Amino acid sequence: MQLSARSHPAGSSAVDRAYTHVAEAIISGELAASALITEGDVAASLGLSRTPVREAFLALESAGLLRLFPKKGAIVTAADDTETAELLQVRILLETKAVQVLGERPSQIDAVEAELTALIQTQTDAAAAGDLLAYARADHRFHARIVDETHNSVIDGIYARLGPRLERLVHRVAARDPDSIDRLIAEHRLLAEHLRAGDTVAYDQALRAHLESGHRLPRML
């Protein structure tokens, strides 16, 4: 499948360019589930050799976006209801733990809330511009910023690997139901309010409702 070319910062590495190029195509749905893509396709689109593309493909497989088949290419993975529920269950567990940890350091809450407010504005601006990829990226960064408060490098690594798949879920919701975007952003504001108040119970309940309604899932956990 031929992918449309995207611009990249001049200083980005060839591997980063290839990774971003393919990841964005998958997250946005330009490359649909089960689509076949080859190193040659990407190398030709970006004017790269196959070596950095091969490295990018390995990273994309690690991120759960591709399944590699030696000498044949790669298949875009699917995000079915089971995987969606499992990904969001992990998000709930890690995020609620982070809120509990942050509650033990109240002096840091204001700084975290300020960053969350900025990310909500980024989401709002992206939605207004119709840039669902930027919207999905800001959505993930909102939740990731909260998880950062665990200050646990193992958790950070896990959440970073889940990032592309979580962004794909958010993009899918926004593309499927654009009218839900304003409500979902408002729910982010509510989460930030619960975080500021140090109300971990209310945060947990609001987070579950946010994810269940946004992704049309039955009650989780």
Burial class (CB in 10 A: 0-12, 13-18, 19+), 137: buried
The fourth-level CATH superfamily of domain 81-214 is GntR ligand-binding domain-like (1.20.120.530)
| Residuewise pLDDT in 10s, the chain (221 residues) | 445 545 444 346 999 999 999 999 999 999 999 999 999 999 999 999 999 999 999 999 999 999 999 889 999 999 888 889 999 999 999 999 999 999 899 999 999 999 999 999 999 999 999 999 999 999 999 999 999 999 999 999 999 999 999 999 999 999 999 999 999 999 999 999 999 998 999 999 999 999 988 876 655 44
Where in the chain are the domains?
Answer: 14-76, 81-214
In the prediction, which pLDDT does 80 show? Answer: 87
C-beta neighbour count of 158 within 10 angstroms: 13
Spatial CA neighbour of 215 closest among 165, 182, 172, 185: 172
Per-residue burial over 170-180, b if 16 or more Cβ lie within 10 Å, else e, is bbbbbeeeeee
DSSP state of 218: P
Domains 14-76 and 81-214 share a fold: no
CATH T-level assignment (fold) for domain 14-76: Arc Repressor Mutant, subunit A (1.10.10)
Q: What is the gyration radius of the CA atoms in the chain, in angstroms?
A: 18
* Token pair of 14 as six digits: 């060839």
